[in-house]
Amino acid sequence: MQPKKVTKIGVLTSGGDSPGMNAAIRAVVRTSLYEGLDVFGIVRGYSGMVDDDIHQMDSRSVANIIQRGGTVLKTARCKEFFTPEGRQKAYENLKKRGIDGLVVIGGDGSFKGAQKFSNEFDIPCIGLPGTIDKDIAGSDFTIGFDTAVNTAVEAIDKIRDTADAHDRLFIVEVMGRDAGYIALHSGIATGAENILIPESSTSIEDLITNLTEKSKRKKLVNLVVVAEGDKVFGGAENVSKTVKERIPEADTRVCILGHIQRGGAPTCLDRLIASRMGYAAVECLVQGRHNVMVGIVNNQMHYTPLDLAVKETQTIDQEWLRIVKILAS
């Protein structure tokens, strides 16, 4: 069957915000206009589809946004969209404007919504991986990850300065409820002595032994980087409690970086990949390649069917964990 021709595209951002989303929106809008298509911005993700908060965009709509963090289209989580009635309302709002293609910028939950919506109403959807966690399979990078990890690195570098001044042990918590990529990359880049992530179980005894051994070697400055979703300890506060109980002589401090990692101007890399992905998303719809997630693998565009993208997660290569062990010794 010949895929139907797309003439009007809707674009939305959904789930957690990530730096670079605006660059992706800009690329979708301007590529659509270049291809002679009408393009509509859907405000607050799927909530905007249900509530009919949809407006047509032109080139000026996306002027001066590529350098901004967050998302000019806003984002929200929408329980109503995950009901048949909510999706029907969303479809009617698209239908009355003639919108016959969607670009969804978000994470796993956003793609699940897009997949279900497309299957029910035969509206082709293209997913762009917008999440700081880099936990979606099918792309070497996700939009926002590079900025978030650089924000964490900058903060941890500053923490190391004060740790050195006072001979302290700092336990730094970064974002990553289910994925440890921010902790892993920022920990390696800042020379952390221990990195605790959900994908790898570091036992309490191993951590205490490691810190005790370094103390014996008169290594007075220690950094432990922990992902918020670490399965063994459950975050920096619990790590600190354990360390204080087992190594009471250690001058221990906790720093939770929190939502600072989501904000700020996107890095050059995030602007570039978001622009490439946004352009490729529109080209997919024009060429009849539907219901895929656009990613970049080995610096080449890579397309993963949405039904696979929602099932698979990015796994951490064991070599990274070996690098951590060797470089922190």
Given the residues 133, 135, 146, 230, select the one marked as catalytic: 133
Tell me how far apart the alpha carbons of residues 221 and 236 are, in angstroms, rounded to a whole number: 17
The number of beta carbons lying within 10 Å of the beta carbon of residue 75 is 24
- CATH fold group of domain 146-262: Rossmann fold (3.40.50)
Model confidence, pTM: 0.93
- Delimit the domains of the chain by residue range: 8-144+266-309, 146-262
- Cα-Cα-Cα-Cα dihedral sign, residues 154, 66, 69, 278: negative
What are the pLDDT digits (tens) for 148-188? 999 999 999 999 988 888 888 899 999 988 888 999 999 99
DSSP classification of residue 300: E
Contact indicator for 271, 24 with CB cutoff of 8 Å: no
What are the pLDDT digits (tens) for 49-82? 999 999 999 999 999 999 999 999 999 888 899 8
The CATH number of 8-144+266-309 is 3.40.50.450
In a structure prediction context, what are the per-residue pLDDT tens digits for the chain, which is 329 residues long? 456 689 999 999 998 999 999 999 999 999 999 999 999 999 999 999 999 999 999 999 999 999 999 999 999 888 899 899 999 999 999 999 999 999 999 998 899 999 999 999 989 999 999 999 998 889 999 999 999 999 999 999 999 988 888 888 899 999 988 888 999 999 999 999 889 988 877 778 888 887 887 666 665 568 899 998 877 777 889 888 988 989 888 888 999 999 999 999 999 999 999 999 999 999 999 999 999 999 999 999 999 999 888 777 777 778 888 888 888 76
**188 burial via Cβ count (<10 Å: 0-12, 13-18, 19+):** middle
Assess whether 133 carries a catalytic annotation. Answer: yes
